[in-house]
A = this chain, B = another copy of it.
Amino acid sequence: MKKTTIKDVASHAGVSAAAVSYVLNGKAHKVSEDTIQKIHDSVKALNYIPNISARGLAKNTSELVSIIIPQTESRKQLMLENPFYAEIISAIEAVVRDYGYHAILAGVDEGVSYLDISVSRNLDGAIIMGVYPERLYEECKKVNIPIVLIDSYIHDETFANVGIDDEHGGYLATSHLIAKGHRNIALVTGTIRRDGVVEKRFLGYKRALQENGLFYHPDYVFEDSVSYEHGRVTGRLIAERHPDITAVFATADMVAFGLIRGIHEAGKRVPDDLSVIGFDDISMAHMFLPPLTTVKQQISYKGETAARLLMEQIVGERPRRGAEVPRILIPLELVERDTVRLLNG
């Protein structure tokens, strides 16, 4: 079936295409009540649906935003298996849809420039999670569309940013352990890269130690990938070879799950023999057994906030010239569950 176009509507209503366009775009101030009515009737009658490509061509828009998330290294898949990203994406998609826009999922392949997809698709905005080679950000500046970064410590006034106070989070977790009487506290984490979120958490860990008069012990930090497997191996290791350690702070819940598993495999128990605290509070954290004590970041809210920020820039009247490039911090909260015990001693 041939699709109905704006012209069909126009002739059906006995007006010009321009009139139809005006009405449909709220620029009806120049159209009489009468024709407005006729047009609406015709739209209904013909079941007219505007063609976004055509509109985009004329207006240089797409009503599309892209969500960029990291890919797994091995297979080239999106890291949606990490529940953290999945949660945040649902939140983003929901608000984007609310605005009548759509979100495209975009893995950034090694070779191809993000710029390409952005200009070829005429994207109206983008949300970027994770950290990427400098190149990407440079490209982003070139395409002049609103962009909001999630969890980035990039020092750049160009991009809006929503994140959490990771240093504070690390501090919170470690302080909690200390308050429970622990003094030999390990840190299990993904790669600590300069200006990355885990570096900040690491810094918070050290500050908590220091403020409580505890020594920072470099061999208490086990740095590798942020993965279940790393946690598992390290859990076994700690349980078997580090009898002095009584608690461990994992910089991600997934790692904490692995830790607990590894500790069990070594024949010890959580929290009886070893306490574990996580970070993120992904929804699995409260389902896990034992339920995980962790630093809760409001993942959905974070995604929602980022998306709103983006959409406001896109549809907003405000010229967004230089002005305020917001950097929003979502509050953190420690949630106590069953993986940390009180050390009496």
A: which residues have CB within 8 A of B? 1, 3, 49-54, 56-57, 62, 64, 75-81, 83, 85-87, 89-91, 93-94, 97, 102-107, 109, 115-117, 119-122, 142, 228, 257-258, 260-261, 264, 283-284, 287-289, 300
Contact = CB atoms under 8 A, between A and B. Distances in A.
Given A57-B53, A122-B52, A81 B287 contact: no
Contact of A94 (B52, B76, B103): B76
B120 A50 contact: yes
Contacts of A117: 102
B288 A289 contact: yes
A231 to B, nearest CB: 9
A53 B50 contact: no
Looking at chain A's contact residues, is the secondary structure mostly helix, strand, loop, or mixed? Answer: helix
Give how many copies assemble into the complex. Answer: 2
A278 to B, nearest CB: 13
B289 A260 contact: yes
Given A80-B90, A264-B289, 10 more contacts: A49-B120, A51-B57, A53-B121, A53-B122, A79-B90, A81-B83, A97-B107, A103-B105, A105-B105, A228-B287
Contact of A105 (B52, B93, B300): B93
A90 B77 contact: yes
A64 B76 CA distance: 19
A80 B289 CA distance: 22
Contact of A80 (B80, B115, B119, B260): B80
Contacts of A52: 120-122
Contact of A289 (B57, B97, B261): B261
A257 B288 CA distance: 8
Residue with the highest number of chain B CB atoms closer than 10 Å, among A91, A120, A260, A288: A120
